[in-house]
Structure 1
Amino acid sequence: MDFELRAAKEKWEKEQREKKERARQRAEREKKLKEEAIKRQEAIEAAHRARRIEEENSALAAQQRQEEAAWLGDGIVFDKEYIGLPVEGSGDKIKLPASAFSDLSSQNAIDKGPMFFRVSGSIDQASASSSSGSKPKQAEDEDERFTHAGVLEFTAEEGFVEIPPHVWQNAGLGEGAPDGIAKVKVSYVRLPKGTYAKLRAENPDFIDVPNHKAVLETKLRQHASLSVNDLLTVQHAGVDYDLRVMELKPGTSVSVLETDLEVDIVGSIDNNQDGSTRLLPLELGKSLKGVVSEGQYRYYKFSLDKSVAKSVAAGELSVLVHLNIEKSDADADADADVYIAGHPLLFPTQHNHQWASNDKGSKVIMMSSSRKEVGEGTYSIGVYGFTGTTRFQVLVEVKQSVVEGPKGQKLVNGGTSSLDSTSQQVEEGFAKCGNCAQLIPQRTFYLHEAYCRRHNAVCKHPNCGVVLRKDEMEKHVHCEKCGQALKKDELEKHTKVFHEPLKCGCGAVLEMQQMVDHKASVCPLRQITCRFCGDMVQAGAEAENVRDRLRGGSISDYRKFEGHESWQLNEHIDSEHLASPSPGASPSPMQVDPVELPVRAAPTTASRRSLSVACPICGMAVHSERDLSSHIDMVH
């Protein structure tokens, strides 16, 4: 009995303990749920507060941006985000969609003159750029990189803006857009007309460009604006020169349209510190040492003043350019060639030069008036590594002109001396050597002839006939293609340099000498100097337009009929240098039609009253120059 009571008591106590434990656990769960509910509520309220604060901040920022845009845009608000597409082109003019024109015209932006836009990456783009470790542009906003641009057209697709390389680079859009597409913010702004600009040449060779300020002026014609820290890339004669905008007045961003802009160009801070300068200055009479690797160039420059150039032109002095090759056991076969050109050609090459020497070993080029015109100015020397790594010394000196005779007695026409015919008459007491054809006194004739036949030999190659010692004659050879006299060890290099086919960028395949002539006078990629501004303009192919073919475009005489000359030069002169004459003013020489052909069967005055252009060949009157081109193509 007692046992059963104890068991029942223990069972009851156990059940009570379990109930208490379940009650405690339930209370803890309820407490925990209440705490979690409170936390969730607090989180929701915090999120609502943060959202409200963010919305208020966004609204405030939008209001500030709108006020800033209105202030920058002089009352015109245009602040849009687009997808930026990089496109080819020069200058800083972008293409916007047609909707942008509607927005701007509705605010009378067209009536306020040229339109300018502040171009920068969007917020996402800027954060991506900063996270990639790029250095932001230091200007008005420390965290945003931007530049300014004009507008070219309103023909882009909706939601897109087409951006040329200059704007794309200076706005830092490429840094956060590895796929070539970036989100871009475009804002309308008003810019003051610039009065002063200070530019720093990143490449010090830009100072050596002839009339470099005119070249820069031509580049700025393609731009509508400039901003501090912008990088301008100026191309001249196939070389790109970078210029950094350091200072602008009256603001950090200015308009360069219809304004007189004073420009100062300063050298780079680290000018020539790392040896990157391509044109090293040479003083007359002082040599410089250098090293050039195979296939590479080292460039030098020297200047001739007016007095030296005058003496050279008179034949009193000659300019000698020495290239002394320093041989070593490590580079016994190393060799280099030398090429020289006068400005505006800054960097002479194998295919584009005025003087050259491709001899093996050390070499000398004599620049005298008897060969090519040598005038006052600056000249460039290009040392080209032909084989191996070549150590050399380059020296330019001015010496009295001397007439150098050829090595050995040269014969022509198979045995006739190269002397004048009157001097070859056999005088009394003289006899002509049957080997070298020289006039020898009769008293020593037999002794000379025996010695001459034993030691000397005559080259049998046509148009050569040079007399050399027999040991030297063994090394004397002629090129099978051009017939030039050479030493045996020079023949391989001569064949490689002068007779290996070379391909020009225009597609022509020529040997070296023909390639030099081609690049100087025929190649459509050659540079032509505009005689008005000094800028280098690409020649281009033969003109397709009849008017351009008739006008020509010779740089030496604009009115001269040169049908093969550059139509691109014509376009350059038309757009940059031919201003419309004022009413009643007589036309300038450049405004007169450059080709005057006889008129045949000219129509009556009455029939031409309503027409504006007459054919220069037959006199037929047509409505426009476009009709004139079609008429000449079909009829003449």
Structure 2
Amino acid sequence: MSFTYARTLVSGSVISDLEGDKLILPPFVLEELLRTASQSIPGDFSDAQLPYPITFQITNPKTRLVTHGGVLEFNAKDEKAYLPKWMHDSLSLTNGSEVTIRLKELPKGTWARFRPMNADYKEIPDYRAAFEGYLRSHYTTLTAGEILTIKQADSSYQFLVESLKPSNAVRIVDTDLELEIEPLDAGHNAFKAFKGDTENDIQVEKIVNGKVSKNTYAYWNVLGIEKLHGLNIELRILSGDADLIVSIVRNPTVDAHLWSNFETATKKNIFIPATNSEYATSNELAIGVHGFSDEPTSYELEITSSDQPSKSNDSEIAIINDVNENSPGYAKCDNCGSWIPERTITLHSNFCLRNNIKCNLCGKVMLKGEEQKHWHCTYCNKVGDYLEKEKHIFIFHTSRQCSCGFEVESLPGLAQHKRTTCPEKLITCRFCYNLVKQGSPSTNQHDLLEGLTAHESYCGGRTTTCVKCHQPVVLKNIATHNMMHEIEKQNRKLPPLCRNKNCVRIAADNVLKLCAICFGPFWSPTADPEKKMLYTRVARKYHSQLTTGCGQSWCKNLHCATGNSSPQDPTTAALSLTPLLKQLQLSTTAFMYLCVDEQTTKKRTLANILYKGEDGGGFEGEYADEFCVYALEVENGDLSAARKWLIDNAPKVKWVP
């Protein structure tokens, strides 16, 4: 920046929606900046170049308090500067106070340490991602000593900017900022104690007792769950009435849960099968007991591991009755429908008609007089005691409205809405990893098919750089982009290696399929259509290797007297080379075994280590020999780097057994 600019303005009233460190300034400030920047350039000042990002030093001229910030807009309708509330308070400004803004180019921040102002910050699922996302959206600068506010959904968390590098004021645009959070031990302990006061732990296969008052909750966190089996959760009411609610997040409520039982019964059961996706993928399971009756409710809670739901006494009686149906010697009572032995059917029928009455709607048999308490819901198929009517209507047929404006006719329906389509449902964004409201359904059809929320559709529209091809990629397309790289990797082909087993070079176009260097001693311009002269030269080369060797100390060729330290006499050598020549003549892929130079020998040794997995990074035959050789060429003989190249770029020949 080759120019300076300073201006004293009047601070405007605090705008509650103004977040981060960005100011709203009058339009003439931009005009003055452009004019100042173009003083050395003739012509229209609109051609002037301003620094990016524009950052200011902001000062209260009376108190000399200083901070820094960026600019959001140059559209203030009056000649005032509008500052975020935290900045207003930090500079001790009041509405109408003078404030001086001075253009100041700040260094790029490289490191920052923050200290939480209270222990609530532990509630942030991933505070590093939260910092990254919030700073990117709302902050241009950081100043040591200021209080930074990070918002997650409806909650705010404050951190002191304790230290920065390389300066006490830095810009954080287009830079990689390393974050460090100073732990808050005392606060953390207090936080844990607070949590412990409101929640209890319960083990599977255990029974616990409790008491809960009306419209309050008792919470239990389930421990010792084996996900191979389902769970039977049974709430036994000893006195009063309470509701059973279960969720995979802590502190479920009657209008925010996954499973519930609102029946008016002394035993309330919820069965969660092992195949349930929410149960199978969750790390926690929370149970809530909600007091419903006016008097405090005493209860027993038991959790058992099971693959079948527990059966009530009514279902067991029904099973017993079904056994006698249409059995020889049994007759059906016309009044109650029970199957009674024929010898006593007359006595039973007379007694049943005097004492029992059958409901014409549901067929339930009850004692005479109890029909006055018998009740059928006019909205659904619910049948029960008249005492249950008020609660049933309140729970299942009373209109309720979500905070987002959605209306539903029952508490379970409201809970389902809140955990599925509610715009205010809190999710952890798969791209910024912040806890945010999911928003309304995405308007992009592709994003809908991918299951992206409105926030994720917007957030996933940002670009990043692919670590493999270094090309810009939209975040929500990374999976598809990586799949393309995987397909390219699986289809990657390399030219065949030199036929010489001891060589690492690529084969050339010659009759022996050797590289140019290995083929050199055998090449001849003489016409040799039947390759007799060629094979004669190969035989001489083999015979020389087997009898006298190459004489090179680095040689590891097992078909060389130097490499195997076992010279052969001419007759034995002739017998040994015969099968080698025969293989050469019969197959164009049979290996040849020729001595090579020292550098090639070293590369071949390293390639063998990679191929056999002797470097500790794989197993023998996992990658083709050609790729092992090529990886070493790319990484200049670095064994560990070559292994990484194989993992990232080479298709596997076979998988781990």
**TM-score category of the 2 structures, normalised to the smaller one:** 0.5 to 0.7
Distance 1:361 1:182 in 2: 67
Give CA-to-partner distance per residue, 1:33-88, whole Å, 9 cap, x none: xxxxxxxxxxxxxxxxxxxxxxxxxxxxxxxxxxxxxxxx9985536343234332
Structure 2 unmatched ranges of 5 or more: 39-47, 482-657
SS of equivalent residue, structure 2 residue 273: coil
Question: Aligned to 2:69, which of 120, 144, 149?
Answer: 149
> For residue 396 of structure 2, what is the aligned residue in structure 1?
498
Distance 1:360 1:585 in 2: 59
Q: What is the identity, as a one-letter code, of the residue corresponding to 2:399?
A: P
Q: Tell me: CA distance 1:404–1:528, structure 2 relative to 1, closer, same or farther (3 Å).
A: same
Distance 1:199 1:301 in 2: 33
> For residue 245 of structure 1, what is the aligned residue in structure 2?
160
Question: Aligned to 1:426, which of 320, 326, 330?
Answer: 326
Does the CA contact (< 8 Å) of 1:84 and 1:184 recur in 2? no
Structure 1 unmatched ranges of 5 or more: 1-72, 127-140, 328-334, 412-416, 559-565, 595-636
Question: Aligned to 1:408, which of 285, 306, 314?
Answer: 314
Distance 2:211 2:327 in 1: 56
Q: Tell me: CA distance 1:428–1:390, structure 2 relative to 1, closer, same or farther (3 Å).
A: closer
Question: Aligned to 1:378, which of 277, 281, 284?
Answer: 284
> For residue 609 of structure 2, what is the aligned residue in structure 1?
none
- Tell me, yes or no, if structure 1 residue 368 matches structure 2 residue 272: yes
Question: Aligned to 2:86, which of 145, 165, 169?
Answer: 169
- Tell me, yes or no, if structure 1 residue 302 matches structure 2 residue 221: yes
Q: What is the identity, as a one-letter code, of the residue corresponding to 2:221?
A: F
Distance 1:269 1:97 in 2: 46
Identify the structure with the greater strand proportion: 1
Distance 1:254 1:516 in 2: 46
- Tell me, yes or no, if structure 1 residue 519 matches structure 2 residue 423: no
Distance 2:213 2:119 in 1: 21
Shift in Å at residue 378 of structure 1?
Answer: 2.2
Give CA-to-partner distance per residue, 1:2-33, whole Å, 9 cap, x none: xxxxxxxxxxxxxxxxxxxxxxxxxxxxxxxx
SS of equivalent residue, structure 1 residue 86: coil
Q: What is the identity, as a one-letter code, of the residue corresponding to 1:200?
A: P
- Tell me, yes or no, if structure 1 residue 341 matches structure 2 residue 247: yes
Does the CA contact (< 8 Å) of 1:200 and 1:244 recur in 2? yes
Q: What is the identity, as a one-letter code, of the residue corresponding to 1:477?
A: W
Q: Tell me: CA distance 1:174–1:107, structure 2 relative to 1, closer, same or farther (3 Å).
A: closer
* Aligned counterparts, 1:147-546, within 5 A: 148-157=68-77, 159-163=79-83, 167-169=84-86, 171-172=88-89, 177=94, 183-189=98-104, 190=106, 192-200=108-116, 202=118, 204=120, 207-208=122-123, 210-211=125-126, 213-222=128-137, 223-227=139-143, 228-236=145-153, 239-245=154-160, 247-250=162-165, 253-257=169-173, 258-264=175-181, 266=183, 269-270=186-187, 273=190, 280-285=198-203, 294=215, 300=219, 302=221, 308-312=225-229, 315=230, 318=231, 320=233, 322=235, 337-343=243-249, 348-359=252-263, 364=268, 366-369=270-273, 372-373=276-277, 374-375=279-280, 376-381=282-287, 397-400=303-306, 403-408=309-314, 426-446=326-346, 449=349, 457-462=357-362, 465-467=363-365, 475-512=373-410, 513-527=412-426, 529-541=428-440
Q: What is the identity, as a one-letter code, of the residue corresponding to 1:494?
A: H
Does the CA contact (< 8 Å) of 1:278 and 1:299 recur in 2? no
Does the CA contact (< 8 Å) of 1:282 and 1:288 recur in 2? no
Q: What is the identity, as a one-letter code, of the residue corresponding to 1:154?
A: F
Shift in Å at residue 511 of structure 1?
Answer: 1.2
Q: Tell me: CA distance 1:458–1:524, structure 2 relative to 1, closer, same or farther (3 Å).
A: same
Question: Aligned to 1:116, which of 55, 58, 83?
Answer: 55
> For residue 83 of structure 1, what is the aligned residue in structure 2?
11
Does the CA contact (< 8 Å) of 2:244 and 2:289 recur in 1? yes
Shift in Å at residue 352 of structure 1?
Answer: 2.8
Distance 1:231 1:394 in 2: 47
Q: Tell me: CA distance 1:450–1:162, structure 2 relative to 1, closer, same or farther (3 Å).
A: farther
Q: Tell me: CA distance 1:495–1:121, structure 2 relative to 1, closer, same or farther (3 Å).
A: farther
Shift in Å at residue 242 of structure 1?
Answer: 1.8
> For residue 550 of structure 1, what is the aligned residue in structure 2?
445
Q: Tell me: CA distance 1:182–1:404, structure 2 relative to 1, closer, same or farther (3 Å).
A: farther
SS of equivalent residue, structure 1 residue 244: strand
TM-score, structure 1 as length reference = 0.57
Give CA-to-partner distance per residue, 1:270-325, whole Å, 9 cap, x none: 4585986599443224869687675xx657462556xx24133xx3xx15375868
Give CA-to-partner distance per residue, 1:137-181, whole Å, 9 cap, x none: xxxx8xx5x654322232324532233xxx31354179875xx76
Does the CA contact (< 8 Å) of 1:193 and 1:255 recur in 2? yes
Q: What is the identity, as a one-letter code, of the residue corresponding to 2:22?
A: K
Shift in Å at residue 501 of structure 1?
Answer: 1.6
- Tell me, yes or no, if structure 1 residue 575 matches structure 2 residue 493: no
Distance 1:467 1:201 in 2: 66
Q: Tell me: CA distance 1:505–1:98, structure 2 relative to 1, closer, same or farther (3 Å).
A: same
> For residue 44 of structure 1, what is the aligned residue in structure 2?
none
Distance 1:501 1:311 in 2: 39
Does the CA contact (< 8 Å) of 1:324 and 1:363 recur in 2? yes
Distance 2:275 2:382 in 1: 19
Distance 2:311 2:295 in 1: 34
Shift in Å at residue 193 of structure 1?
Answer: 0.6
Distance 1:265 1:469 in 2: 71
Give me the identity figure in percent: 21
Does the CA contact (< 8 Å) of 2:90 and 2:146 recur in 1? no
TM-score, structure 2 as length reference = 0.56
More off after superposition, 475-484 vs 585-594: 585-594
Does the CA contact (< 8 Å) of 1:82 and 1:159 recur in 2? yes
> For residue 93 of structure 1, what is the aligned residue in structure 2?
22
Count how many residue pairs are aligned between Structure 1 and Structure 2: 458
Q: Report the aligned-residue RMSD.
A: 4.9
Shift in Å at residue 111 of structure 1?
Answer: 6.0
Q: Tell me: CA distance 1:400–1:176, structure 2 relative to 1, closer, same or farther (3 Å).
A: same
Distance 2:265 2:79 in 1: 64
SS of equivalent residue, structure 1 residue 404: coil
